[in-house]
Structure 1
């Protein structure tokens, strides 16, 4: 026989009915054999919860002949199948009964193991996902980072935020008074506590109740408003208590290869995972089974290493990857698929790559080409341009002054091109000059004990009123230091809103010398398609004022608002000033059609009849910045001259080719960043700020980088301070102060390799940035 297992959702009688249909006729309930059809006729509810229920598979007298042995073998096989790996054999001899239990599940310790399947190791499948968090790895619970926001404080110094105040202080006192009895270090900073000590703080013991007890008390009193408010203050997304954030159910962890479970392996960075698989020792049979799979795994890991992503771990969320990292993962995927005869188009694959890793990227692109593919790369990086078989240079300048093929040919031919701006920089006819002297500094802001992500408890000084560049290979901890520790800490200090600050001891320095901190990122400048460069810089207010002061405007009663496409009055109401009608398509991208009423000009005919020096308001919005500056500066009126002056910062940051009315949704990340920079340059000399830029050279040609550096110098001249995260060697060589992190990415990074002038960085043997910079200095 075999044990009867009732599937969830079924009653005992429903299960018995199914067994009858399968050809089984008897059940054994508490050692008494009953016929299934009689059980069903009685229709009395039978439960197996408090009784032993087995399926009777077969009853036979054992005779030593072939047919009988064959029949018993078949019955045993059926019993194992129906009993999910368990079989019961009862031997009757006279009045005595011998009962034997057999199992093919190998569960020596009583744990029943599932047979592994591919789905068991996937958190996207209900078979493998942790049932508590449904495969997300996070649950809504009490967030340790909110309970203990400053991990450099000790328990005695009120590290536990919820144990402050007169009433809640008694919970802390309970621990402080009893700490000696079980050697708990109440004066040690929280980050120095061992894992066991941290766990004890939550669980408590016989001397004190712990944080779990505290929050249980809050939940029990949640009918009182003050307790509900306190609970909500400390709720957040926390690691799932059942799977510890691994997202898989615990059964997946029982299966091990080379002493490691899948949960252990996904925590390792790719460059550590590679040696694990290459040195894996398997038996002859296992090696035969795994041969093809191991080849695929090793190939894919090699490709990820080749594109410079060896520092990433496999469990890293894709939402936390930078644009450059995502693009290079797609590149590794393409390599892994071994396609032939395909065309790959890559847009700046060198974004976020240190010059050390560019060589590896070039080798990857070569590998793709040698497989029989065509690779087209849009790129500004000098090394990639020099490595190309064919170069197509578009120009000669940008916007309306661009759009022509200036050159097409090999790298050697390019160097002789007279028209190409790229050729001028590659041959050194034009170059970004090294500053004649570096700015001296006395004032600074210092971060001490930075430990966020892979940072190794480092102390870093950021000088003020200088250009300070933070460098290091991909994954060395630059973003963790600047965007996760420094910026959030300063933003909170100056009253701005920011995400939670990364782990560090303290931040100190000459805060009196700056009044605000600005993080100039590459996000779009406006939330809607209506915003454009001139509305962002407030120049459009002056242009509308100029038009409303014309005689013909006064005659028609037009105010500045009539020249706005955002409010009713002068705009075309058919398209509400958009210039186009959007047709929503339910299952495809929306279609944009030119507005029939205004023919895409955004304003009513009466408004378009008002002209200034032969141009109406639509014509002005259609001018590029360069054209607008020429047009307004040639006029006599002071209003026009003021507009030309306000547009000048856009020209200074290299955006002279952008149209005044160009929708912000059509601007690239680099263009948006430079418009923000122009808005700061446009402000009169006043309150000094600290500007933080994250790779501002993304999407910039050598010529544009030169203009960008001139803008940075203009900001410094106005008393501001600049911190830049950057890989571009032209920016690094022009810095006053360089902070180099490394030496590698991931867990081999996070150390402060060097801080000082660029000239001294080249003498640091373990710095990859220094080695690359030698050629530039």
Structure 2
């Protein structure tokens, strides 16, 4: 699903049904004259003439077929043998021998078949003559209407001639009809609609330039001018800031004087004319594009290729404009839109479009089942809270929760029964407003005869489950038991379940008695307009716990990841990639750095583990190297490392497992036969500290290791931090590849708690409660408290209300997802946001806040967001 070609449309099979829809009832429209193109029958042509030219005189002819195999003399001989002796040239009837003296390949020349009037009584003769003309014209007919100047203004004609026609001096109108898809006005022939024409995964339908990917590698102007708040004199053009290219600025100074272009204003403040001058040049001055075109001539040099690669990126394909399809596929329309335009719609827009689609009864009968499947799948995507996604959204850019819900909608569309569905936290990334819709989808799956198992911490999901299994009582070696099984009401009465104790109020995450006021400084983003953000201004207070909230698709990740984090890093000269569109970032001088603490793995090999990540293993190796046996054998700390040669098992290279390639199947990891999964040589395992060898120590939990190494500060210090963030159950040597996203995030959090003393850091967390029980959230908040006490700032993207009620300040985006989002709906403390009638987050926060609410509310006027 996460290939570079996969989209929301292909993953849900909507794209397959769209291909069928367009192939069966699509209307081809000429891109030049916007006339609908269709294959004409003899009856179609006769009815068209009766409607537009009743009682007119008409010349019926066909174009001669002349090619390398058929010369004009051969064609002329064959035509005479078939009984044709006259032709039509520019509306005049001439003998075929005279055409020979003219140009027989002139499109104005044709072979006359019949002269007749457009009247109902002539229908039999018309049918016979049209069939004969189609036969000799190889599916093409030319009809010249004579003497109908008064009616011509209201019809589609391809040519109006002022020449005399046959027996009349009147003007004529010429039509071309074809049994192929040919425009009657322009004479252009089009491809027959076929499902493969509308598939970007098929070479036949894919755009030849981008090969169906939708983008190409070109010079990316966002990399060339990464900081548009810089002026030209400050070095806004990044590739010209090198010693070998800086003379371009001197050249630009001369051009600026000619065009009265200021050099000291931010690049974004330059007029469009002046920006175009810098980028495209003026003939004498090459501009940015000319500069790179000059470099392309030297691409045989390695240094030039490396330099160019710094400023290249994926940009929308200039030929298909991101639709991924060849041009002919976009000439076909259904309901006035082509398939590329439909794919650019959000799920909600597409759902409304297909619900209101008006087609003929015949077309409805042909594609009834296709339309039904499209509508069902769009309805399911809406039900799982994904109405803001566009159908052409790449699957690789979806979050884990979004991808899982797309799979769920696809499963519903398949209408399978008797299946077992297992979902791991389907509410990840889902706003509380949309949880009930997801619940409805799961209940639908159940009601059609399936079994649904959900791993979940969300209260609403648990409350609506038919049967609950609660594992515990704690985590790691202290868990693994079923402490409760039954329904929700029974869970509330269970004295063994920590989950039950939180739900019945015995345990709780307390609301802070007072909110932090911050240190008086702010990060101020102005004019943020990346993706669906509506040119908003955002003030983020520092020195406190700030949360960015909003329904799915409201622009939270875009604001924080693509704009704020990237802009801060660029200001610190730590970012060379693209930064989301905005005018300016103010206040970055008040922080020393920004750190994104996400849920990506802490390592990608089995040798990486929590002990190595926090450098606790360094102290452990030193302890073993100082034992008597190790000194006698000359072992150093490196001997007890499984990352370097010396003491590790060389068969598995310290991994404990051996990867076996399975060709077309997934690789298999087998326990190493040489060390039996213990990672070290037998001689190294003979060295013991307090009766334990290095393998046995690595198999200890963090809580056990804290007691075991209580006299070794270099080991205890990092391990205590891991224990404080709720990872005391984890084994020291647990492979990083086996950690969940939430566990990896907490390992990183512990590492940051151990470092960067004396600096003001902005820590950014993206949904840190993913995978966390309420008890774990309580520990996470304690870790946040430590970071804040050290003088740092915390910014989280979050939906979890238990975490949000503890925030000092909330910035709520919305009011909806996609194009209906991107505005700042409310700002302030949780109590203030809870009062805002326009905030979905505020509505749900009110249920969590039990004490009085201050009357002051910071709200964007309703008119600003639709």
TM range (shorter): 0.7 to 0.9
Mapped partners of 1:79, 1:706: distance in 2: 85
1:259-658 matched pairs, under 5 angstroms: 259-441=336-518, 442-497=520-575, 499-509=577-587, 511-512=589-590, 514-633=591-710, 638-639=711-712, 641-658=713-730
Confirm or deny: 8 A CA contact 2:175 2:184 kept in the other structure: no
Query: Partner of 2:314 in structure 1?
Result: 237
Q: Secondary structure at 2:709's aligned position in 1?
A: helix
Residue 167 (str. 1) matches residue 240 (str. 2): no
Confirm or deny: 8 A CA contact 1:520 1:694 kept in the other structure: yes
1:178-197 matched pairs, under 5 angstroms: 178=259, 190=268
Measured after TM superposition, the shift of residue 258 of structure 1 is: 2.2
Measured after TM superposition, the shift of residue 628 of structure 1 is: 1.3
- CA distance 1:452–1:128, change in 2 (3 Å): same
Query: Partner of 1:46 in structure 2?
Result: none
- CA distance 1:552–1:356, change in 2 (3 Å): same
1:217-256 matched pairs, under 5 angstroms: 234-256=311-333
Q: Secondary structure at 2:726's aligned position in 1?
A: coil
Which region of structure 1 is more displaced relative to structure 2, 696-705 or 288-297? Answer: 288-297
Query: Partner of 2:211 in structure 1?
Result: 134
Query: Partner of 1:144 in structure 2?
Result: 221
Residue 103 (str. 1) matches residue 189 (str. 2): no
Measured after TM superposition, the shift of residue 308 of structure 1 is: 0.6
Pick aligned residue for 1:716 from 765, 788, 791: 788
- CA distance 1:101–1:604, change in 2 (3 Å): closer
Confirm or deny: 8 A CA contact 1:155 1:190 kept in the other structure: no
Q: Secondary structure at 1:280's aligned position in 2?
A: coil
Q: Secondary structure at 2:825's aligned position in 1?
A: strand
Q: Secondary structure at 2:392's aligned position in 1?
A: coil
- CA distance 1:623–1:206, change in 2 (3 Å): closer
Mapped partners of 2:846, 2:608: distance in 1: 44
**Cα RMSD for the two superposed structures:** 3.8
Mapped partners of 1:498, 1:305: distance in 2: 37
Confirm or deny: 8 A CA contact 1:443 1:510 kept in the other structure: no
Mapped partners of 1:163, 1:563: distance in 2: 50
- CA distance 1:142–1:552, change in 2 (3 Å): closer
> What 5-or-longer segments of structure 1 have no aligned partner?
7-11, 17-25, 36-49, 63-67, 91-96
Q: Secondary structure at 1:600's aligned position in 2?
A: coil
Mapped partners of 2:813, 2:757: distance in 1: 34
Query: Partner of 2:149 in structure 1?
Result: none
Which region of structure 1 is more displaced relative to structure 2, 742-751 or 119-128? Answer: 119-128
Query: Partner of 1:747 in structure 2?
Result: 819
Q: Secondary structure at 1:277's aligned position in 2?
A: helix
Query: Partner of 2:6 in structure 1?
Result: none
Measured after TM superposition, the shift of residue 236 of structure 1 is: 3.1
Which region of structure 1 is more displaced relative to structure 2, 420-429 or 486-495? Answer: 486-495
Mapped partners of 1:517, 1:437: distance in 2: 26
Q: Secondary structure at 1:679's aligned position in 2?
A: helix
Confirm or deny: 8 A CA contact 1:163 1:171 kept in the other structure: no
- CA distance 1:52–1:173, change in 2 (3 Å): same
Q: Deviations over 1:593-627 (max 9, x none)?
A: 33333222222222222222221111111111111
Confirm or deny: 8 A CA contact 1:581 1:592 kept in the other structure: yes
- CA distance 1:683–1:190, change in 2 (3 Å): closer
Q: Secondary structure at 2:429's aligned position in 1?
A: coil
TM-score by length of 1: 0.84
Measured after TM superposition, the shift of residue 562 of structure 1 is: 1.9
Measured after TM superposition, the shift of residue 305 of structure 1 is: 0.8
Q: Secondary structure at 1:774's aligned position in 2?
A: helix
Mapped partners of 1:186, 1:454: distance in 2: 31
Measured after TM superposition, the shift of residue 178 of structure 1 is: 4.9
Query: Partner of 2:44 in structure 1?
Result: none
Mapped partners of 1:437, 1:290: distance in 2: 62
Measured after TM superposition, the shift of residue 587 of structure 1 is: 2.5
Query: Partner of 2:191 in structure 1?
Result: 114
Confirm or deny: 8 A CA contact 2:320 2:326 kept in the other structure: yes
Pick aligned residue for 2:803 from 731, 738, 752: 731
Q: Secondary structure at 1:610's aligned position in 2?
A: coil
Measured after TM superposition, the shift of residue 4 of structure 1 is: 5.5
Mapped partners of 2:299, 2:286: distance in 1: 19
Q: Secondary structure at 1:315's aligned position in 2?
A: coil
1:87-98 matched pairs, under 5 angstroms: none
Measured after TM superposition, the shift of residue 171 of structure 1 is: 5.7
> What 5-or-longer segments of structure 2 have no aligned partner?
1-61, 80-102, 116-124, 145-165, 168-173, 850-866
Query: Partner of 2:742 in structure 1?
Result: 670
Measured after TM superposition, the shift of residue 221 of structure 1 is: 7.9
Q: Deviations over 1:418-473 (max 9, x none)?
A: 11111111111111111111111212222121111111122212222211111111
- CA distance 1:172–1:618, change in 2 (3 Å): same
Confirm or deny: 8 A CA contact 2:523 2:541 kept in the other structure: yes
- CA distance 1:201–1:718, change in 2 (3 Å): closer
- CA distance 1:761–1:218, change in 2 (3 Å): same
Q: Secondary structure at 2:771's aligned position in 1?
A: coil
- CA distance 1:561–1:219, change in 2 (3 Å): closer
- CA distance 1:159–1:533, change in 2 (3 Å): closer
Mapped partners of 2:672, 2:302: distance in 1: 55
Confirm or deny: 8 A CA contact 1:307 1:357 kept in the other structure: yes
Query: Partner of 1:706 in structure 2?
Result: 778
Mapped partners of 1:150, 1:420: distance in 2: 54
Measured after TM superposition, the shift of residue 129 of structure 1 is: 1.7
Mapped partners of 2:356, 2:833: distance in 1: 38
Measured after TM superposition, the shift of residue 186 of structure 1 is: 12
Q: Secondary structure at 2:334's aligned position in 1?
A: coil
Residue 765 (str. 1) matches residue 841 (str. 2): no
- CA distance 1:219–1:591, change in 2 (3 Å): closer
